[in-house]
Amino acid sequence: MSFLKSLRCRECGREYPKQALYVCEYCFGSLEVNYDYDAIQKVISRESIAKGPKSLWRYRDLLPLEGNPSAGFYSGFTPLVKADILAKELDVKELYVKDDSVCHPTWSFKDRVVAVALSRARELGFDTVACASTGNLANSVSANAAWAGFKRYIFIPHNLEKAKIVASLVYAPQLVAVNGNYDEVNRLCSEIAAKYKWGFVNINLRAYYAEGSKTLGFEIAEQLGWRAPDHLVAPAASGSLITKIWKAFKEFDKLGLLENKLKTKIYCAQPQGSSPIATAILEKADVIKPVKPQTIAKSLAIGNPADGYYAKDVIQDSGGSAAIVSDDEIRDGIKLLARTEGIFTETAGGVTVAAAKKLINQGLIPRNESLVLAITGNGLKTQEAIQEAVGAPYQIEPNLDSFEKTVMGSEKKHPETVR
């Protein structure tokens, strides 16, 4: 059963056929998927979802396919970790970490959007898929396209982390490092997409792709016992993830799937060197000013965010706010999450943790209400960002004496992490 009706312009509302289209011919607004919610309402329930597969496909009634999925069978359904030790450190009552650092198969939430985009690409008849990426999308399209049997062209800025390059190349894509930043890569890809009949997951398939991010929000609500949290902090690059988490809560609310009244406040986390959305929010500006990104959080290094205005609206409509954090705060955020909860996140996750800490200390997030942090990627991919900041192992000789002198006699103390 498919509930995918059409595509619709987010600005003027004009409808378009459900093809690989992404801009409105009349007003240049971006297109969004339009569902038949009345029909969905008749079949969906908490029970029907709970009976589904332990993957993001348990929400397939709210995803933009006409038939069965053909990619990303094991993606999503990541843990929602009750983060009691971190809660104590941050002095808040009820804290959870949505841990997409362990999403299958490439350890970031991008596996969600790619599962949906590649399934739709197959339905639309593409044999080649492509993307413009800040790193994690490159990994995910490379891996998922290998599994699903697509030819694959991947475009990245030349200065990505080594692990993100290796973890793309290993899946044998045509990997193209462009001598420019993400915004330049993206512009080039728009030209290529106009000329070659490829499914660019975040360009001509963007309307479908973006819907995959909703599953992060659906899971949070389901895992909280069909409740939306009071507060949610998520990182932003293009701003798409934030808009879709909000859309997920709204859809669950509209379909009567939530136990509580939806009043989630959404907060945007961005790094100092690339914070166009957060800056506009904090300065109460109408205009989002593009920037030239310069940050260790390379997965968030988008200076001209495609969904910036929509993200800003969501944050402001929800009553949330934003925080901007420095590279040092990002490193501290990564280490704090690891030391307290045993979760090693990448730089984007460090941005989220550091931003949450700031928002709590500023009194913008109250200490006695439920809070979820969206941890979107894995720390093993961005080791160079913190290798200088984590210290070094003890060096000893292979004998007891050396161990006792060097290790047990050391002043270094174990941090207290007894649960």
Ligand X SMILES: *Cc1c(COP(=O)(O)O)cnc(C)c1O
Burial class (CB in 10 A: 0-12, 13-18, 19+), 225: exposed
Taking a C-beta distance cutoff of 8 angstroms, is the pair 278, 322 a contact? yes
Nearer to Zn ion, 253 or 313 (CB): 313
From residue 159 to residue 188, what is the string marking binding to ligand X with x (rule CB under 6 A)? Answer: ------------------------------
The closest alpha carbon to 126, from 30, 204, 67, 232, belongs to 204
Nearer to ligand X, 62 or 201 (CB): 201
Nearer to Zn ion, 9 or 56 (CB): 9
Nearer to ligand X, 44 or 293 (CB): 293
Give the residue ranges of DSSP H helices in 237-387. 240-254, 276-282, 308-318, 327-341, 347-361
Q: What is the spatial order of strands in the sheet that 199-200 belongs to? A: 174-178, 151-157, 128-132, 199-200
Largest CA distance in the chain: 78
From residue 81 to residue 110, what is the string marking binding to ligand X with x (rule CB under 6 A)? Answer: ---------------------------x-x
- Side chain identity at residue 257, one-letter code: L
Three-state secondary structure call for residue 44: coil
Taking a C-beta distance cutoff of 8 angstroms, is the pair 80, 97 a contact? yes
Distance, in Å, from the CA atom of 202 to the CA atom of 6, rounded to the nearest integer, reads: 18
- Residues 292-321 binding ligand X (CB under 6 A) are 299-300
Among 9, 237, 278, 371, binds ligand X (CB under 6 A): 237
Three-state secondary structure call for residue 356: helix
Nearer to ligand X, 237 or 322 (CB): 237
Q: Is 236 in the site for ligand X (CB under 6 A)?
A: yes
Binds 172: which of ligand X, Zn ion, none (CB < 5-8 Å by kind): none
Taking a C-beta distance cutoff of 8 angstroms, is the pair 293, 299 a contact? no
Q: Is 376 in the site for ligand X (CB under 6 A)?
A: yes
Virtual torsion, Cα 332, 337, 343, 349, nearest 10 deg: -60
Residue 28 token pair: 């240049």
Nearer to ligand X, 49 or 97 (CB): 97
Stretch that binds ligand X, among 16-24, 40-48, 233-241, 283-291 (CB under 6 A): 233-241
CB of 25 to Zn ion, least distance (A): 8
Among 78, 106, 119, 136, binds ligand X (CB under 6 A): 136
Distance, in Å, from the CA atom of 116 to the CA atom of 207, rounded to the nearest integer, reads: 10
Distance, in Å, from the CA atom of 113 to the CA atom of 208, rounded to the nearest integer, reads: 8
Q: Is 71 in the site for ligand X (CB under 6 A)?
A: no
Q: Is 271 in the site for ligand X (CB under 6 A)?
A: no
Q: What are phi and psi of 208, to 5 degrees?
A: -80, -50
Nearer to ligand X, 238 or 321 (CB): 238
Stretch that binds ligand X, among 5-13, 159-167, 191-199, 231-239 (CB under 6 A): 231-239
Instruction: Tell me the site size for ligand X, rule CB under 6 A.
Output: 17
Cβ count near 276 (within 10 Å): 22
CB of 24 to Zn ion, least distance (A): 3
CB of 32 to Zn ion, least distance (A): 11
Q: What is the spatial order of strands in the sheet that 4-9 belongs to? A: 15-16, 4-9, 31-35
CB of 65 to Zn ion, least distance (A): 24
Distance, in Å, from the CA atom of 282 to the CA atom of 268, rounded to the nearest integer, reads: 10
Q: Is 157 in the site for ligand X (CB under 6 A)?
A: no
Binding site for Zn ion (CB under 5 A): 9, 11-12, 14, 24, 26-27, 29
Q: Is 240 in the site for ligand X (CB under 6 A)?
A: yes
Among 238, 274, 304, 321, binds ligand X (CB under 6 A): 238
Residue 197 token pair: 């009949």
Binds 27: which of ligand X, Zn ion, none (CB < 5-8 Å by kind): Zn ion
Question: Footprint of ligand X on this chain (CB under 6 A)?
Answer: 108, 110, 134, 136, 235-241, 299-300, 346, 348, 376-377
